[in-house]
Amino acid sequence: MEQMLRGKVGLVTGAAGGIGRGSAEVCAEEGATVIVSDLESMEKEGRETVAIIEEAGGTAAWLPCDVTSAAEQERLVAFAVERYGRLDFAHNNAGIVIEGLITEMSEEDYDRQIAVNMKGVFLGMKYQLRQMIEQGGGAIVNTSSMAGLNGSPEAVGYVASKHGVIGLTKTAAAEWVGHNIRVNCICPGGTWTPMMRRQPPDRLEVAFRSIPIGRWADPREMGSVAAWLCSDGASFVTGVAMPVDGGGALGRGFSPKKNAGGGMA
């Protein structure tokens, strides 16, 4: 079967682990050259992602980026163009979660989540779109969450930022649909990432019960959806917030109380 990203160049943020690593791996397996990016403090893990890709016969490069910095986001796109000549797709995946009730969360913690999860997507798209407009097309996928489609207790900053990612995605899609550029986002449900593994056992149990399909998602499953959205196979898809949640959106009769905290990715 022909690789769906063969010959394309892309970047993935938050790729030192979790969904970002899964996305980078799948994109490389599908023939893309992938720029793996994460915080400088995550260099060891980021280079591990590169090594996994290279050992499997793919092509990848590491470049750190703090997604809240316009200068570093611009440098990331410039790196792709200077080294590989273009940027065909981007997966803006970097994100954080800091738990807390609305009445308890500090302003600093709220602002930090908005900065990483939402401003980071805005800044990424700002420079990615400029390059894609210049070269005549491209595709962008942003990582929202099922928490971006619903509410979730004790996660006000995360939920607000992930709702914002969907708004950014739809706006960018509408602005640039006439320039051969597609912009979509994925809304992961319960995915077995380092972020999920840090949850307390009681929250993990509740989250697991909110997945009708009866298992956690592997990060590569999210990567497969992101890779498809970046490929020509999704050439008629733009402005979509796609649930990838094992049927969680079906509800399956669960009450909000029973579901509290479930499905964050």
Within the chain, strands assigned E span 9-12, 33-36, 59-62, 89-92, 138-143, 181-188, 241-244
The C-alpha atoms of residue 241 and residue 142 are separated, in whole angstroms, by: 9
Supply the DSSP symbol for 24.
H
Q: Is 192 part of any domain?
A: yes
Residue 140 lies in a domain: yes
Is 2 inside a domain boundary? no
CATH number of the domain that residue 120 is part of: 3.40.50.720
CA distances from 261 to 147, 154, 250 (A): 9, 7, 17
Q: Looking at residue 174, what is its pLDDT?
A: 98
Domain extent, residue 178, equals 9-259
pLDDT at 251: 62
Q: Is residue 4 assigned to a domain?
A: no
Q: What is the pLDDT of residue 108?
A: 98
203-255 residue pLDDT tens = 777 777 777 777 777 888 989 999 999 999 999 999 999 998 878 777 644 43
158 is catalytic: yes
60 is a domain residue = yes
DSSP string, 149-178: TS--TTBHHHHHHHHHHHHHHHHHHHHHGG
Residue whose tokens read 């980078």: 24
Average pLDDT in the 8-30 region?
Answer: 97
Query: Percent of the chain scored above 90 by pLDDT?
Result: 73
Mean pLDDT across the stretch 47-68?
Answer: 98
Alpha-carbon gap, residue 11 to 13, rounded angstroms:
7
The rounded distance, in Å, linking the Cα atoms of 132 and 182 is 10
Catalytic residue among 84, 110, 127, 158: 158
Q: Report the chain's mean pLDDT, rounded to a whole number.
A: 90
If you average pLDDT over residues 176-194, what whole number do you get?
A: 88
Evaluate whether 139 touches 181 at the Cβ level (below 8 Å).
Answer: yes
Question: Is 254 within the bounds of a domain?
Answer: yes
13-22: average pLDDT:
95
214, part of any domain: yes
Residue 200 lies in a domain: yes
DSSP 216: P
Structural domain total, the chain: 1
100 secondary structure, DSSP code = B
Model-level pTM? 0.90
Token pair listed for 211: 């997945």
